[in-house]
Amino acid sequence: MVERYKCNKCGTVNEFPRYGNAMTLLKFRKGRCGEWANCFTLILKSLGLKVRYLWNLEDHVWCEYYSKNLKRFIHLDPCENAFDNPLLYNHGWGKKMSYVFAISDHYIQDVSDRYVDSKSDKKLPRNRISELDLNKFLAIVNLTNFLRIKDTNDYLETVSEFLNDYNQRKGITKLAHSKTPLSTEMLPRQSGSADWTKSRGEDGK
């Protein structure tokens, strides 16, 4: 897909191709959050790390990696230079959010409860699908993908990873080495112009 932008003053047309292939992006080196997240995820995977791609319905993407030391998935946003600060978007940007999904090689998890503060006025209604139907759909997708894993060790490791993350988010098991972000880390969106972030409701106001 190619986006076209025209200057209202001089009439100059600028074309901006949106590449989805991370290898192409490493050469092109231009893009927005989607391109940054794709490239960063590829780099992390090339280092042998377990990585998940995070997708938010309200138009933002980032990633997570699994820390063996902390024994949990860690929030990473290459656009914002953010580390382990999952409430950055709700509390820092002031972004209104509903659904957030973590997509790994073998499963999809609804991780909205990690990134959307249930007590915040920035929480949007989750009314695209009933919670029951959403859970059924994810269960079918994940079970199908789990059954495709041929190696027994990979299967056990993946299912254990899935259940451990679920239990931590639901408070069933204690979150290991949790980090409380400093107030100085709860910043409005740093990438993009002031007018653009304001129009998207991501300027912290």
What are the tokens at 174?
Answer: 């204690």
Model confidence at 196, in pLDDT bands (50, 70, 90)?
low
> Where in the chain is CATH 3.10.620.30?
32-193
**What's residue 32's pLDDT?**
79
Q: What confidence tens digit (pLDDT) does each residue in 178-190 have?
A: 555 555 567 777 7
Beta strands in the chain (DSSP E): 2-6, 13-17, 51-56, 60-67, 72-77, 82-83, 100-103, 108-110
Q: Is 105 one of the annotated active-site residues of the chain?
A: no
Q: What does the DSSP assignment read for 109-162?
A: EE-HHHHS-TTSTTBPP--SS-HHHHHHHHHHHHHHHHHT---HHHHHHHHHHH
Among residues 77, 79, 91, 165, the one annotated as catalytic is 77
pLDDT > 80? residue 199: no
**What's residue 195's pLDDT?**
75
Higher pLDDT, 191 or 136: 136
**What's residue 21's pLDDT?**
82
User: Which residues lie below 8 Å from residue 92, measured CB to CB, with a gap of 6+?
Assistant: 85, 185, 186, 187, 188, 189, 204
Q: What confidence tens digit (pLDDT) does each residue in 56-68 have?
A: 999 899 999 999 9
Query: Is the CATH number of domain 32-193 3.30.565.10?
Result: no
Q: Is 106 one of the annotated active-site residues of the chain?
A: no
Distance CA 101, CA 193 (A): 27
pLDDT averaged over every residue in the chain: 88
pTM: 0.83
Q: Is 121 one of the annotated active-site residues of the chain?
A: no
Count of residues making up the chain: 205
Among residues 39, 60, 63, 91, the one annotated as catalytic is 60
